[in-house]
Amino acid sequence: MTFTDRKSLLSAERRHLLQAAGAAAGLALAPRLGWSQSGELTVTNWGGDWNDRTVRFIEAPLVESKGIKIVRALNLEPERKAKLLAERNLPRGTIDIAHFSGADAFELNEQGLWDTLDASKIPNLANVRAPLRSPYFVPWVFGGVTIAYNPKFIKEPPTSLADLWNPKYAGKLGVLDQSFFNWIYMAALVGGGKMNNVDPAWAKLAEMKQSMKPRIYPTHQQMAAGFASEEVWIAANYSARIAQWAKDGVSVRSSYPKEGAITIVFGAAMPKKARNKEAGYHYLNSLLDPKGVGQYAAASMYAPSTTNAELTPEVKAAIDFTPDQAKSFNNVDYAYQAKNIAGWLERWNKEFKG
């Protein structure tokens, strides 16, 4: 073996050892290798069209074009949570950026998972609407739970969440099991409760089960199919979902309830054990890019979290909320929900679905 051959072999072995050591230790050598706004960034997110749009409007044009290679770990919230919690005690984790709802992000923050963000490294945070801001979470898009109805059968738009209990629609009410907590909140509001007191919900849900004979759907897609087949005339869902179904040709419209919509916020956070934090900051700032978030909002039908998103007047009117509507939003008390949601799910399954 020549000196050159030995040198090449040693170099190959050295690269292999460095890669193995990096995987075992969460790539703790990354700063020494000159990673900043470059290198590899692992992002965990939902799959499907949610991720497709994230790639199209944010990741490809604003992140990967800068030389940052994104590794995508796509799965549902339980898997993402389990992965992050399992890595809490490692020197470095395998996730750099994690997408969640505001409620899930709060729950994981209570577990000590997230970094407190350095706002100076996310200049676009300055444009986030004040009620949505958080020290550990970058809110990206948001929406509200509104009434969905088929105008073919319901000529006058419903004006109240109480219309979900209207006996005229018995057997034609659709309930989404995937977001059971929103139905508990709506029942509480109709029954005289509040977002931090859902005790009145259970009597109202028992009444709904008895008098309305609701059709229960596991997923958004199955509820959309229920509207399309006309087995459902009325339901409640995120305004963005309703707008998307209408855009896809389903006979469905959204009506804002007088009680106010229930807020849903989506965004991303950075684990304390993230490997490539500088690239992570670039990613988080890119989520709020005026053009990118405007394009994503237009495609997803969720409203952008920022005040300077680039939206046409027509799109803004279709997906955003008026100032009066925004003031009436029923914001989730994340601490109250995190404390009680396991018990709610048990009662929902036994008393409402059972």
Task: Please state the three-class secondary structure of 293-345 as a single string.
Answer: HHHHHHHHCCEECECCCCCCHHHHHHHCCCHHHHHCCECCCHHHHHHHHHHHH
Q: What is the mean pLDDT of residues 234-261?
A: 96
Contacts of 205 (CB under 8 A, 6+ apart): 183, 184, 187, 348, 351, 352
Give the span between the Cα atoms of 58 and 62, in whole angstroms.
Answer: 5
Helix count and strand count (H, E) for the chain: 13, 10
The β-bridge relationship of strands 97-101 and 39-45 is parallel
User: pLDDT averaged over the chain?
Assistant: 90
Q: What are phi and psi of 100, to 5 degrees?
A: -155, 170
Q: What is the mean pLDDT of residues 264-287?
A: 97
CATH 3.30.465.10 fits 143-263+327-353, yes or no: no
Cβ proximity of 293 and 315 under 8 Å: no
Q: Please give the CATH number for the structural domain made up of 20-142+265-322.
A: 3.40.190.10
Residue 37: predicted pLDDT: 53
Residue ranges of the chain assigned to CATH 3.40.190.10:
20-142+265-322, 143-263+327-353
Residue 187: predicted pLDDT: 98
Q: How many residues does the chain have?
A: 354
pLDDT tens for residues 25-58? 333 333 333 334 568 999 999 998 899 999 999 9
Residue 171: predicted pLDDT: 98
Rounded alpha-carbon distances, angstroms, from residue 119 to 42, 200, 285: 21, 41, 10
Give the span between the Cα atoms of 231 and 169, in whole angstroms.
Answer: 11
Enclosing H/E stretch for 244: helix 239-247
- pLDDT higher than threshold 80 for residue 344: yes
Burial label, 326 (beta-carbon count in 10 A; 0-12, 13-18, 19+): middle
